[in-house]
Amino acid sequence: MALKYELQEVEVWDGNYAASHALRQAQVDVVAAYPITPSTPVVENYGQFVADGYVDGEFVMVESEHAAMSGCVGAAASGGRVATATSSQGFALMVEVLYQASGMRLPIVLNLVNRALASPLNVRGDHSDMYLGRDAGWIMLDSFNAQETYDLNLCAFRIGEHRDVRLPVMVNQDGFITSHTAQNVRPLSDEDAYKFVGVYEPIDELLDFAKPVTYGAQTEEDWHFEHKARQHKALIDSRPVIENIFVEFEKLTGRKYNRVESYMMEDAEVAIVALGSTVESARVVAKYLRDNEGIKAGIVAPRVIRPFPFDAIRTALENCKAIGAMDRSAPGGALGMLFNEVSAAVYTTSSRPIVTNYIYGLGGRDLTLEQIKDIYRELKKNADAGEITTKIQQFVGLRGPKLEFFETRRG
């Protein structure tokens, strides 16, 4: 039996510690993990909770991230609650097994503490690792601060383990800015948190000897397509389940989450679409611009990156005129992911707002409030002109000659 951990009404936690406490409160059975900056403290803290008797689980410190996710898959198929954490290169090493976890419909929770991908090697935050995982068939949640990291971890277990979902879930947070910045966090009591997450319900477990089960069968051209289609349907259909769990969480805590978060969008003319801690910076700037320059600025932020909120993002954006899609990942010879996906969504509205793409913050480069102001001002110019007045893709906060690509043909 795990010991009760006495918590204050308000704790001062960083994102990593907040995630560890959520794992402890969910009484995770197995954590198989491998250390990597900046996610390491998530599993270190879990290990300490095990050592101190605050959680009755198995802490398996393996020899690589690939093995970490492999151990998680073996454990999850054995009918218990499983979680881990990683970042960047470690996540890249895990990728093979991410697809296997989702294909086998195993509700593992992975804390992905976002960090740039080498080369060049870099330990700071950007969203390259998050983007790498976006086709892996996982539900992907994004937190913008430590409180949200805690809350979304508790929700992640509920969502992934739901009978109609049974899919693995990633909880993203920004490396260092969220993971290592101590903030006020209001945790639930251990009892309330566990009551919310609930008792794990095993399905098709390797340890039920009355019902031997084969996991990981081969499927070729006569079966593979059907299996992947069913998996995709489960992912798309998880949307209402996620919404219901968010509603339940709000009843318990007063903190409301949505598949797409909108700030100051009621009358917004221009909007930034962003992920992670940038959302919080943009909120400060939008408020400033509304008060001082009369720009009706707003922010739209996908809380749920997968299943991509095609429907909700369209609703959030269809009444504004110009959108800046902010991608914090090297786009690798294309427009950024948010640009592409947001553009596709708003293209199916009758208003078809103008969308431009800003690449920023790679390798932990700060995005200043001044830079965000400039972006909003450009969007305002686009809105007023009714066309894109800049290049479609621009790099922001980069030294050297201005780097920008592609012109509109819409004007």
Write out the residues near another protein by the rule CB under 8 A. 29-30, 32, 56-58, 60-64, 66-67, 70-80, 82, 96-97, 100, 103-106, 166, 200, 202-220, 222-223, 225-227, 229-230, 233
Q: Which two tokens stand for residue 236?
A: 């798309």
Q: Which is nearer to another protein, 224 or 287 (CB)?
A: 224
Q: Minimum distance between the CB of residue 194 and another protein, rounded to whole angstroms? A: 13
B/e letters for 115-128, b = 16+ CB within 10 Å, e = fewer, are bbbeeeebbbbbbb
Instruction: Give whichever of 12 and 213 is closer to another protein, judged by the CB atom.
Output: 213
Minimum Å gap between C-beta 133 and another protein is 17
Shortest Cβ 53–another protein spacing (Å): 12
* CB 235, min distance to another protein, A: 13
Whichever of 100 and 183 has its CB closer to another protein, that residue is 100
Half-sphere exposure of 264 (CA within 13 A, CB side): 23
Q: Nearest approach, Cβ of 191 to another protein (angstroms)?
A: 17
Say which residue the tokens 């068939």 belong to: 137
* Whole-number Å distance between alpha carbons of 160 and 29: 15
Closest to another protein by CB, 10 or 229: 229
- Please say whether the beta carbons of 25 and 193 come within 8 A: yes
List beta partners, residue 404: 394
Question: Which is nearer to another protein, 69 or 116 (by Cβ)?
Answer: 69
Cβ proximity to another protein: between 106 and 140 the closer is: 106
Q: Which distant-in-sequence residues (6+ apart) come within 8 Å of 85 by Cβ? A: 16, 19, 33, 39, 40, 42, 43, 110, 111, 112, 113
CA distances from 292 to 289, 296, 373 (A): 5, 11, 11
The distance of closest approach from Cβ of residue 273 to another protein in the complex, given in angstroms and rounded to an integer, is 32
